[in-house]
Amino acid sequence: MSKKPTSRQQDGVNKLWGGRFAGGPAEIMARINASIGFDQRLYAQDIAGSRAHCEMLIARGIISARDGAQILTGLDRILHEITEGKFTFSEALEDIHMNIEGRLAELIGPAAGRLHTARSRNDQVATSFRLWVRDAIDALRAALRDLQRALLIRANEHAATLMPGFTHLQSAQPVTFGHHLLAYVEMFGRDHARLTDARRRMNESPLGAAALAGTSFPIDRGMTAKALGFARPMRNSLDAVSDRDFALEFLSSCAIAATHLSRLAEEIVLWSSAQFGFITLTDAFSTGSSIMPQKRNPDAAELIRGKTGRVSGAFQALLMVMKGLPMTYSKDMQEDKEQVFDAADTMNLSIAAMTGMIRTMIIRNDAMLAAAGKGYSTATDLADWLVRELDIPFRQAHHITGEVVKRAEAKGASLDQLGLKELQAVEPRITEAARTVLSVQASVASRTSLGGTAPRRVRAAIAAARKVTG
């Protein structure tokens, strides 16, 4: 967008400040004070708020219908100019709100000055920012649903595909790959719910709180709240302009979701390594090496993992901005937006990349199956059999099974390769029936408790999740 000087820039003096200031700020003050370089992203929300405010002023008879019509026409033109890339943003006018007001004055003259009746930049900024965060939440919720649907497709394909389940990154018990993916469906579902809850709490309108104490004009805050899609006006004018807990809650929800993305990204990095070989990433989501021609690097997953720090850092940064502020507005709060903008951008990109990887990754069923039986992953099944069939206390069954594992290790055999005599050498009451539970297939099929990994449970869980995700 162009940077040509306009009549709104006169020797760096912001004419919208009024008569209190005779001269302009120092150059360094102008630079530190200006936010137009980043808050221009609020243009659509600012214009929407101004339109709602203007229509209310007309309805309440606070400004004339003629002036109001000029203001609304001018706002529509400004919106068109910005969306078409024809608007000139001026750093001298500090922020998006004063840039729009300055351009409105150029377009319609003195009537533009009536728009700010019964309004302050404090409630104007708070309203625009709430609207932007609300839109960002809606975008992230949709992206998370798309990721969940991608996971459900792959989970359904692999509802019976066997893989090792891990604790401490050590082989623990066999599970299905579909079951493993469903764990992330649940995590991202909670992320979606947190954003939904945050949206509900923040969906109150600050507009009409004015600078901090409300206004003496007979405004209708319910009318502006409804016009902007808010559930209600905020109940306290001081709170309306002074807090940013809605942005903090948004960033907190993003930080948790980013952590879930990072965990899945880490697993993709592991699974795609030669040492695991569980999956292969397509060319679309991997890169090569500048020196090693054989390499296929999981860069998309690594970058998602790395970007988690940016999102968590944004949350911490805004907490520090807000922690020591007295009521009501302080200029520190200008530092609220860049963190939120960056976190939203980072989350949208990370979710899109993760969704792409999940949709396109190639699953190596044979490699997963081979790994599922390693590390004596069916030992717990033998212990459970001893409890169930021989009425042995679990701690004793645990000890017996440990002795069986030791024998298998000494022979370099898996548990299901041990003969009945070898099992009875540890516990004479063991029968041939015990050997039927020692395969990974039998182990997985037996885990039929609610939330378990048995394929029929996995398919039922997929069906239930699809009712939620669509």
Residues known to be catalytic: 168, 289
Owner of token pair 């001893």: 386
* d(C-alpha 121, C-alpha 97), whole Å: 8
**DSSP letters for 152-196:** HHHHHHTTT-EEEEEETTEEEEEEEHHHHHHHHHHHHHHHHHHHH
Nearest to 451 by CA among 124, 245, 185: 185
* d(C-alpha 237, C-alpha 209), whole Å: 5
| Tokens standing for residue 13 | 């003096």
* d(C-alpha 114, C-alpha 9), whole Å: 21
Q: Which residues of 277-299 are buried (b: 16+ CB within 10 A; e: fewer)?
A: ebbebeeebbeeeeeeeeeeebb
* d(C-alpha 345, C-alpha 339), whole Å: 10
Which pairs from 273-281 meet CB under 8 Å and 24+ separation? 276/367, 276/371, 277/364, 277/367, 278/163, 278/363, 278/364, 278/367, 278/368, 278/371, 279/361, 279/362, 279/363, 279/364, 280/361, 280/362, 280/364, 281/357, 281/360, 281/361, 281/362
Please answer whether residues 293 and 382 qualify as being in contact, where contact means their C-beta atoms are separated by less than 8 angstroms. no
Please answer whether residues 48 and 228 qualify as being in contact, where contact means their C-beta atoms are separated by less than 8 angstroms. yes
Residue 97: half-sphere exposure toward Cβ, Cα within 13 Å: 21
CA–chain centroid gap for 432, Å, is: 52
Owner of token pair 């507005």: 329
Please answer whether residues 123 and 206 qualify as being in contact, where contact means their C-beta atoms are separated by less than 8 angstroms. yes
| Tokens standing for residue 310 | 């940016």
